[in-house]
Every structure is written in C-alpha cells, then in structure tokens.
Structure 1
Amino acid sequence: MLTLRMLGPVQVLSARGAVDPGPARQRCVLAALAVDAGRPVPVPALIDRVWDDRPPQRARHTLQVHLSRLRTVLAAADPAARIVRRCGGYTLDLAAGHSDMGTVQALVRQARHPGTGLAEQGATLDRALQLWQGTPLAGLPGQWVEQVRQHWLHLRLDLLIRWAAAHLATGRVDAVLAGSSAALIDFPLAEPLWAVRMRALVAAQRRAEALALYESARRRLATELGVDPGPELAALHHALLT
C-alpha cells in the first residue's frame, strides 16, 4: 500500500520502502494533485500551482512529462494508485493508499465528533500531531506551495491548542508541559500556546514559573510585534497576581 507524505519533505512510501518521486518541480506536481486527491484538478490550475505566473513556454508539454514520470513512480509503489485524466483535468486516485494529510483530516473529524470524550480526543490528536515530520512540503518553491504550507501550519497550531486543552482537562499536565515547550519553538508568537503553558504550570503548582513565562511572552510580543498581551494572557496574569 502506498503512503504519500507531505507534512515534511514530499515522499512516496511503498510496502517495500521509499520510492523517489523525482526533482522538486515534479514533486510539486504530485503535491498539486495530492491536496485534492480524488477530485480533478484542471490543467490551468495545475500549471498555476506548479509555476505561479511564470510557466515555461511549453508548460502543458512539460506538465505531461512530469505526469508520465509520476505515473511510473506510483506504479512502482502501488499499482492501485493512479493519475487519471478526468473532467478536463487530472485526478490523483490513491485507491488503497493514503496521504498523511488525509489521515490528519480524518483524525480531526474523529476528535470533533459529538460524544467523543476528552481522553479520546487527546489520544486521537496525539496520533494526528505525530504525523508531522517537519515543515510541510519542505523544499518546494512557489506562491501556491507557501499558501498551502501556511494553511497547514495554522492547522497544526489549532491542533496543538485543542490537544493541550484535552490533556489538561484529563490531568496529563506533564505531557502538556513537554508539548507546549516544543511547540513554542515553532510558534513563538502564538498567544494561545503561551496561555496553554501558563495553565499547565499553574496546574503543576509552579506559579512563579507561570508569572515568569508571562513576562517572557509580554517582552517578546512587545519586541517583535509592538503589542501588549491579549485578553486571555492578561486575564491569566491577573488571576495569578490576585
């Protein structure tokens, strides 16, 4: 079975190991199809995604070359995974395979399902967050790639905050302290993460560290954004002082 990884460098994995998806531009074609796996992507949209507003003179021909080579790559990984011409565009049909982002989206839906308990939510989001292998679509150029990358990074931040809230509510304070420390390296200006870590420190009876963390957040926000902490951080700070 094929696994397509995009939450890091673009990789194609088969039951026998990794299959080289080719150079950066060809991996970009694969990503441009994979974000809409199962749905046709029109040829003009593919060209825009891969080359922005600077396509080569024979863009359609070059695209066909990349698609042909990708068909060979996918066939080597899993014959059920195909790129097919459909509705004026091309569709990546993973069939029995899957992508890491597709798995994340399924896990998010599972965690948000009504009636899902907090412990189950936390465990489900654990599995989703473990799929991140670094910067999404790492090494690929282009405006479209950057837009997708930023969207997925915002999704990861949202998942981290939901994950921490679920674990705090079920008493897994140590996990939140470890996870929030690592997350703040990637999202140093995300106030909700600072707030999550402050709450975890308070829950761990480490009030002085929570106050010191607030000061660190305040200085960083002032230095890099020229703003004061927002209502959530300010309210936490006030509660600690009183």
Structure 2
Amino acid sequence: MPTTAVTGHLTATPLSPQERRVLAAVGCGLRDDEIATALALSGESVAEHLAGILEKLGLRDRDAAIVHAFDCGLVVPGHGVRIPAHRPCPQAPAPPTAAGRLRISLLGPLRAWQDGRGLDPGHLRQQAVLAVLALSAGRPFSRRELLDGVWGAEPPAGNVVPVYVYRLRKILSAGGGPEPVIEHGPRGYRLASGAVDVDVARFEQLSAAIAEAERAGEPRAVVNLCTRALGLFRGEPLAGLPGPFAEGERLRLTERRIALTQGKLEAQLRLGRNAEATAELFALTAEHPLNEPLAALLIRALHRNGRQAEALTVFERARRRLAEELGVAPGPVLRGAHRTVLRARP
C-alpha cells in the first residue's frame, strides 16, 4: 500500500531499481516511447511502471513526477540522469527547514507555517508589512518606508508600524526560539537572516538555474525547471494585499510567471512537443490576448502541427485586438510568425 502524509510530514516509499530508472527518465523530460528505447522496455511496461510510481509516491500526474525527480536528486540540472544506488527515493518532501524555522508563501495569498503548522498573520495591512520584510532579502526598512509601501499616499493617523511589528513578532515566534524573527536596528526593521524560508527566494533560485540551462542549450532541463518554478504559484502573487509595494511586486511576479511559461513552451516546441504546447498556448492567449510573443508561439505551434488555417486565424484575431484596443500594428515577432505560415502555404 502507498504511504500517506501524516500531520504535514511525508514518509519514504521505496521504489524498485527499474521504477527509479523510469522516474529519472521522466524527470529528464523523455516521452514514454523514448523511455522504452533508452531502457529496453515495451511501451506498455513503461506506462505500467509510471502508474505504479504515481500510486506509490502519491503524486498527481506526470508534471508532479518531474518535480519529484528533481526534489529527490534523481535528476540534477546540467548533469542528466543520476540514480542513487543504495537508498530509496523518498516521497516528495516539503522544502527543508531547520527546527523552528518559518516558511512564508507569497506566490498566492500570503500564508505562513512553522514546522508544518499554519500561522495566522493577521489582517491585510499587517500581512502587507510582513510581505515587505519577506521580499526585502535582508534589507532593513524604516518606519517611513513601511508606511509608504503599505499605505501609500494615505498613511494612518498614528504610527501603527511598531504595533504591527510587535504583533507579527508574537505570531512568528510562537513555539520558536527566544530571538525575535523581526529585528530592529538603526536603519529599520528586517527579518532575521536565515530564519525564514520564502517561496519567492526559491523561485529566484530556480529562475537562475533556468537561465543557466538555456545558455547551455538544454531544452529538457528548461522544461523541467520551469515546471518546478511555476508549480510554486498558488494563484495571483500577494493576492489581496494592499499598498503600492504589494501592487508593484504583484505585477513584477506575474510578468515573471508569464515569461517563464513562455520559456517552457518555447523549449517544448524545440523538443517537438507541439501538441502539448498548443493546448496550453490556447488557454494563455485567451487570458493574455494582447501578448504578441504568446500569439506568435501559438501560430508556430499550429503551423508545425499542419494547422495553417487556424494559425492564420490566430494572427488575424491578434491583429484586430491590437488595432482596436491599443491602436498599434503587430510587431516584428508576430509578423515573422505570420510570414512563416504564408511562405509554407501551397
């Protein structure tokens, strides 16, 4: 029987050596037919192994298996497949945290945990103060900067920043050590170094690894790392948090999310995974109808699938939306994709 998570902690589930090889190959982005060739298996056997892996590890789908292959060390970016010889592959773990260390998630509504136990960070303005400190990467913020970032042009009548910091210290230190999680010095407030694990920091680390894989010309690693980075999002970043700082970060992180999605889809097209990319591109272009690079990618994907008429329809729809809503003509990227389709028509 597969193991299950208990009170937020995940137990290990041993996989057979062949299952570990299949999982490593999935993590490297290979299709079932490529895995069958590489491991000298039948296609049916690969499918059976993958189904067993998902069941044993309690994983949702193939994308979750890719993320897990990286998390448990079966795949290392830039180094291909690595299969541990004598230890079982554990079930997908939560991000490593030291005893008493906090986790804060900002890639969605703000959430905080300590040792797997959820914490209540208070009302939205108080959460917005915590978000500023969590995103500052150790840089101290003065009272004035916090007031400007959270309240903008309409600051409160009293100086509530020390009150909010006092409340947050009590919330975040519950069950922890004696040292305050939020420090105060001559230059202002900041989170104590190494005391908090923030999902945005993990997102930035994965983004750096993606850039390295792109420079190395490794589209499979790009797809896998992008899948892992995009899996950190739980909705709109900093959803519902007020203030100019949160609004600016929300816009920045949303743009980064779109750019990473575009990078993943471009890598899928380079790997010949056109149908897979096309399905996601239809949804993305509907959500972002004025994004010309996404429309150009969809045109390229449809063209490679032999769907030239649909590709031309996508261009015409994008051209019309750009003219009606922005008063501009298609840019060079979109025009180039259009020309590619026209040149290939009989």
TM-score past 0.5 threshold: yes
Q: Which amino acid aligns with 2:106?
A: M
Q: Is the helix fraction higher in 1 or 2?
A: 1
Q: TM-score, normalised by structure 1?
A: 0.90
Aligned-pair identity in percent equals 38
Is 1:222 the counterpart of 2:317? The answer is no
List 4+ stretches of structure 1 deviating above 4 A.
Answer: 77-81
Question: In the TM superposition, what is the alpha-carbon distance from 1:74 to its structure 2 partner?
Answer: 1.6
Determine if contact 1:12/1:21 at 8 Å carries over to the other structure. Answer: yes
Is 1:82 the counterpart of 2:149? The answer is no
Q: Which amino acid aligns with 1:24?
A: L
Deviations 1:164-183 (A, max 9, x none): 11121112223322332332
Corresponding residue SS for 1:57: coil
Aligned to 1:19: 119
Equivalents in 1 of 2:180, 2:209: separation in Å? 25
Deviations 1:119-161 (A, max 9, x none): 1011101111121222211111222322221111221222122
Equivalents in 2 of 1:71, 1:228: separation in Å? 53
| Greater RCO, 1 or 2 (C-alpha within 8 Å, sep 6+) | 1
Equivalents in 1 of 2:173, 2:196: separation in Å? 12
Corresponding residue SS for 1:155: helix
Is 1:33 the counterpart of 2:133? The answer is yes
Determine if contact 1:81/1:95 at 8 Å carries over to the other structure. Answer: no
Structure 1 residues 167 and 137: alpha-carbon distance in aligned structure 2, compared to 1, 3 A threshold: same
Q: TM-score, normalised by structure 2?
A: 0.65
Aligned to 2:162: 64
Deviations 1:5-48 (A, max 9, x none): 11211111333342111101001001111111322222221111
Aligned to 1:182: 283
Aligned to 1:10: 110
Determine if contact 1:15/1:77 at 8 Å carries over to the other structure. Answer: no
Is 1:167 the counterpart of 2:274? The answer is no
Corresponding residue SS for 1:41: coil
Gaps of 5+ in 1: none
Aligned to 1:132: 233
User: Please, which of 178, 191, 203 is the counterpart of residue 92 of structure 1?
Assistant: 191
Question: In the TM superposition, what is the alpha-carbon distance from 1:192 to its structure 2 partner?
Answer: 0.6
Length, aligned pairs only: 240
Structure 1 residues 4 and 77: alpha-carbon distance in aligned structure 2, compared to 1, 3 A threshold: farther
Aligned to 2:258: 157
Could you tell which deviates more after superposition, 78-87 or 216-225? 78-87
User: Please, which of 73, 87, 94 is the counterpart of residue 171 of structure 2?
Assistant: 73
RMSD: 2.0
Determine if contact 1:180/1:193 at 8 Å carries over to the other structure. Answer: yes
Equivalents in 1 of 2:193, 2:176: separation in Å? 9
Structure 1 residues 10 and 77: alpha-carbon distance in aligned structure 2, compared to 1, 3 A threshold: farther
Aligned to 2:39: none
Is 1:240 the counterpart of 2:338? The answer is no
Could you tell which deviates more after superposition, 176-185 or 77-86? 77-86
